[in-house]
Amino acid sequence: MSESKKLFAILRVTKLHQHTLYIVHKHNYREMDVPNAQEGIENIHWTHDGSDKTIPQLVRAKLKEYPDLRIQKNSVLAMEILLTASPEFYKENTAEKIDEWERASKQWLMKEFGDNVVQISTHYDEKSPHMHCIIVPIKMKAKRKRQNKAQKKVNELGDAYESMSLCANHIFTKESLTRMQTEYAISVKKFGLKRGVKGSKDTHVSMKVLRAKTAELKLATDQVIEQKIELKKAAVALNKKTENMNEKQANRENKLKAKVEVDNAKIIEFNEKAVNARQEFKDSIVEIINEKAQLTSSILQFHKEVRDERAEIKNEHAAIISAQNKHRKKVEADNAKVIHASEILSEQEQKSKTFIDAYFSPFLTNLDIAFSQVGPQRIKFLKSKLDEFDENLFKHRDNIPVDVSTHINKRLNTLRPKKSSLKY
C-alpha cells in the first residue's frame, strides 16, 4: 500500500420518499440498467428478516410495527447510507481484506442504527465496491397533547407523552452526520482509511453527472481539435488573402497618390476662384449697402405718404360719421313725425267711427224703415231726418276727415228724394 497516497473512508446519506424507494430497489438489485456495472459478478444482499422482500415492502413492514406512527404524504420513509473508500483501497488490497472491510462496515451500521436497519446491499460489480444500507428513521420522541380548557385558561402546556415518530431530520442532523463520519472512519482505521477533511466544502459528484461531464469534455475536446484544423486552414487562407490585400493596397495607394495630385491642382484652382469670388462678394456687399440706403429712404418716404393718407382717411371718416349722425337725427325726426301723423290719423279714424256709429248708422236704419213704408208722412219724416243729419255733419265737420265727409255726402245724394217727390 502506498504511504504517500491518502485513502479515505467515505460515508454519504440520502433521503428516500415513497416514490424513490422503488428506484433504489431496482438500482440495488440490478433490475434496471446500470451503465458502470459489470455483468457476471454477483452482489450480496441482506435483509433484517431473512426474506426476499423488496425494499419498499421491508420499509412498509417496519412501519406497520408501530400502528400509531403518523405518516404524511411527503414524509421521509427511509434513509440510504452509502459506505465505500477511495478507489486505490480496492486496487491495493486482496479480496479477503475487502471482505474484512465489509464486515467491519456492517458491524458499525448495526451498532449505530440497530433494528432500524432493514436491508444492506454490497456491490462488487462496479469499479469501487460499496455498501447501500436502508434505514427506517424512527425513534421515541417526546411530544405534548393539545391543551384542554383548564390548561388554556391558566396558559399551561398540554400533557407530555412519548411515542415512536418518523424523524429523519432529528436523527440525521449536521452534528450527528459529522459524528458518524468520524466514528465510521475510526471503525475502519485498521484498514489504513482516514476521515475526510472536517468542514471541507467539497461535494460529491454522482456517476451520472460525472459521465455527463466527461461526455461534455470529450465533445468540447473534439470541437477544439476541429477548431484548430479550421484555424490552420483559415490562417493559410488569411495569409493568401493578406498578400492579395497588400497588392490591392499598393495599387490603391498609387491611384490615391495620383488622385491627390489632381485634387491638389483642383484645390489651387479653387483657391484662386475663391479669392476672386471673395472680392466679388465684397463688391456685392458694398452694392447691397448702397441699395439698402436707397431702399431705406424710399421706405421713409412711403411711410410719410401713408401717414398723410391715414390723416386724410381719418378726416373723411370723421366727416362721414358726422353726416351719419345728422342723417340719423333726421331719420329719428321723420320717424317722430310719422308716429305723430299715425296717432292723429288713428284719432280721426276713431272719431269718424264714433260719429258714424252715433249718427249715420241710426240714420240709415231709420231710412230703411222709412223706405219700407213710403207715404207723405214718411217723406216728411225723412226730410226732417236728413236736415238733422246735415246739421250734425256740419256741426262735427272738424272731427270728420274730408274723404269720409265726401263719401257720406255722395251716399246721401243717392238717397235724397227728388224735389218732385217732396210735394205731398
* pLDDT tens string 224-236: 787 788 888 888 8
Average pLDDT over residues 369-388: 71
Q: Tell me, what's the pLDDT at 417?
A: 53
Is it the case that residue 375 has pLDDT exceeding 60? yes
**What separation, in Å, do the N-terminal and C-terminal C-alpha atoms of the chain show?**
194
Q: Where are the beta strands (DSSP E) in 2-109?
A: 9-16, 44-47, 78-85
Domain end among 171, 201, 231: 201
- Sheet holding 44-47: strands in order across? 9-16, 78-85, 130-135, 117-123, 44-47
Tell me the CATH number at 159: 3.30.930.30
Question: What range does the domain containing 347 cover?
Answer: 340-422
Cβ neighbors of 29 (< 8 A, separation 6 or more) are 45, 54, 121
What DSSP line would sit under 200-240, residue for residue? -------HHHHHHHHHHHHHHHHHHHHHHHHHHHHHHHHHH
Query: Residue 136 corresponds to which cell in the numbers above?
Result: 427506517
Residue count (the chain): 424
Is it the case that residue 421 has pLDDT exceeding 50? no
Query: Residue 31 corresponds to which cell in the numbers above?
Result: 433490475
Q: Tell me, what's the pLDDT at 420?
A: 40
Domain end among 201, 222, 242: 201
Q: Tell me, what's the pLDDT at 3?
A: 47
Is it the case that residue 416 has pLDDT exceeding 60? no
Q: For residue 309, what are the CA distances in angstroms to 271, 299, 305, 316, 317?
A: 55, 15, 6, 10, 12
CA gap 312, 95 in Å, rounded: 138
Instruction: Indicate whether 218 belongs to any domain.
Output: no
Orientation of helix 402-415 relative to helix 376-395, angle to 10°: 170
Instruction: Indicate whether 328 belongs to any domain.
Output: no
Query: Residue 326 corresponds to which cell in the numbers above?
Result: 345728422
Instruction: Indicate whether 239 belongs to any domain.
Output: no
292-311 pLDDT, tens digit per residue, is 988 888 889 988 888 988 99
Q: For residue 300, what are the CA distances in angstroms to 303, 304, 311, 312?
A: 5, 6, 17, 19
Q: Considering the chain, what is the average pLDDT of its residues? A: 83
CA gap 416, 403 in Å, rounded: 20
Average pLDDT over residues 286-297: 88
Is it the case that residue 243 has pLDDT exceeding 70? yes
Instruction: Indicate whether 303 belongs to any domain.
Output: no
Query: For residue 147, what is the DSSP state?
Result: P
- Indicate the number of domains in the chain: 2
Q: Are 422 and 370 in contact (CB under 8 A)?
A: no
* 3-state DSSP assignment of residue 8: strand
Instruction: Indicate whether 356 belongs to any domain.
Output: yes
Q: Are 143 and 161 in contact (CB under 8 A)?
A: yes
pLDDT band at 2 (very low <50, low <70, confident <90, very high): very low
313-357 pLDDT, tens digit per residue, is 899 889 989 988 998 998 899 889 889 888 887 887 787 778 777
Residue 281's identity, in one-letter code, is: F
Give the position of cell 480496492: 90
Instruction: Indicate whether 237 belongs to any domain.
Output: no
Q: For residue 230, what are the CA distances in angstroms to 174, 223, 233?
A: 53, 10, 5
pLDDT band at 247 (very low <50, low <70, confident <90, very high): confident
Q: Are 23 and 53 in contact (CB under 8 A)?
A: no
Number of Cβ within 10 Å of residue 54's Cβ equals: 19
Burial grade of 18 (CB within 10 A; 0-12, 13-18, 19 or more):
middle
Domain end among 201, 218, 253: 201
Query: Residue 179 corresponds to which cell in the numbers above?
Result: 459524528
What DSSP line would sit under 185-203, residue for residue? HHHTGGGT-BPPPTT----
CA gap 163, 170 in Å, rounded: 14
Instruction: Indicate whether 36 belongs to any domain.
Output: yes
Work out the percent of the chain whose per-residue pLDDT is above 90. 28
Q: Tell me, what's the pLDDT at 53?
A: 93
Q: Which residues pair with 9 in a beta bridge?
A: 85
120-132 pLDDT, tens digit per residue, is 999 998 888 999 9
Instruction: Indicate whether 243 belongs to any domain.
Output: no
